[in-house]
Structure formats: C-alpha cells, structure tokens
Amino acid sequence: MRIATWNVNSITARLPRLLAWLESTGTDVLCIQETKCAADQFPVGQLRELGYEAAVNATGRWNGVAVLSKVGLADVVTGLPGGPEYDGVQEPRAVSATCGPARIWSVYVPNGREVGHEHFSYKLHWFEALTAAVAEDAAAGRPFAVLGDFNVAPTDEDVWDPAVFEGLTHVTPAERDALATLRGTGLTDVLPRPLKYDRPYTYWDYRQLGFPKNRGMRIDLVYGNAPFAEAVSDAYVDREERKGKGASDHAPVVVDLDV
C-alpha cells in the first residue's frame, strides 16, 4: 500500500502534474494540502476517472486539504475537532478518513507568520487541538498516521542553514515542542535516517534559486503509530516532482506499507 502527502500549492494550477503523478506512481492514498479552491471546484470527476474517491475540506482560495483514496474512504471527519478559530472561522486545515486498513489524517498546520504575531499563537493552539484530536486514533491497534505540511522543521538538520532561520517561525523551541508533544501520543517520524541522499528537504522557496541550490526545509512529515511504522517498507521524498515548469514549491513524501 502506497501512501503519500503533497502540498500542491493550488490543485487547479497543479492538476495536470497531479494526475500524471498519481498514474505513474500507483499511489493508493494521497493527502493533499493547499488546494486553494472551494469544495465544489475540487476536480472530483478527473480523480474518479483514475479510481480515486475524495474527502475534501476546502472553502475558497486559501488553505484546503483532502484525502484521495483508491482503497476505500470511510468515517470521514471534516475539520479539526475542537480546533481554534482565526478571524472568527475555523480554517479548512484538516480532514481524516479510514482508507483500507489505515486511518489517515491530512493536515495543513498554520504558518505562524512571525514570532509574536497572533497567527503564531493560533498555530500553537492548533497543535494543541490536533494532539488532543488524534490521541485516540494513535492509540488504536490499526495503522494510523498524520501526514501533511506541518510548517515546522523538527531539527536544525531539517533546514539548509540554521543561522538564516534564527528568530523566525518554523524552527522555534515552542513549535518544536508542539511537534514533540504530538509525537508523545505514540507517533514517530517514519522516514528513515539517513535517506537515500543528504538533506532530504520537502520544501524549497521559488525565490533566489532555492531548489537548484538545495536551500530547503523538511516540513512535510509523516507521523505514524507503532502498527503503521512497523509496516513501513520504504519511504522517500520525490524530488523529481519539484523539478521543471509548473511545479509546486513542495515535493511529495511517499511511504510504502506492507499491510
């Protein structure tokens, strides 16, 4: 069973690449972030032609998440139970579903903008709600994972130059502590270290030749419980999908399970 996560940075802009990637990789379940479309604009028909069902949480031009599955889609929960609001609304940043033998969450954690900003506090509160919401699933006996764009680099090794990020979001002790608390529900980072190459980043800024110079960050993560982690047979970042015209600024993270 192949499960992946990918911040597509607009499913409308990335649709031809997305469809080609799904067809070529044989992915069974894909978690998507930053759909940047309303739910009624999501390309359900094109995905159905490839055999995918879709659980979508999207409300407009910002944010938006989805779970695509070829192995079944049940017990869908749209939104983050108990999640905080920002500017009076609960943003579309989480959706979960049971896909075959596994329970899957697709999440797009708030960016935080800058330390001290109210969006930074919102980010930490969002992490608290996520940790509480996934605890029961994490403790269950079936494979379970939270996948997505966490907007946090877990360690200094996960950014191209720690000095560049000093004092900025994504690397602060508060954010990394929030990730550690989430892992404390019984989850682990399932990507092996070392991977097949050095510096396995998942995001590279479009500006200043970020990707050609490999000035990236590892912020797209897969956190699985013990049954999930024990079933992992391979895991990698698909850097090839970050190349070329029309690419997202994130690469897919792929995990193969022997279930």
Q: How far apart are CA 194 and CA 88, in angstroms?
A: 43
Annotated catalytic residues are 108, 149, 250
Residue 156, annotated as binding a ligand: no
E-assigned strand segments in 100-172 = 102-108, 144-149
Q: How many helices (H) and strands (E) does the chain have?
A: 5, 14
Q: Please state whether beta strands 2-7 and 29-33 pair in parallel, antiparallel, or not at all (unpaired).
A: parallel
Residue 214, annotated as binding a ligand: no
pLDDT in tens, 208-251: 999 999 999 999 999 999 999 999 999 999 999 999 999 999 99
Architecture of domain 2-257 in CATH? 4-Layer Sandwich (3.60)
Confidence (pLDDT) at 233: 94
Bridge partners (DSSP) listed for residue 146: 105, 223
Confidence (pLDDT) at 198: 62
Q: Which residues of the chain are under the pLDDT cut of 70?
A: 192-199
The two tokens of residue 249 are 């600024």
Residue 34, annotated as binding a ligand: yes
Confidence (pLDDT) at 125: 98
- Cβ contact 249:13 at 8 Å: no
User: How many Cβ atoms are within 10 Å of 64's Cβ, its own excluded?
Assistant: 28
Count Cβ atoms within 10 A of the Cβ of residue 155 and give its class: 0-12 exposed, 13-18 middle, 19 or more buried: exposed
Residue 149, annotated as binding a ligand: yes
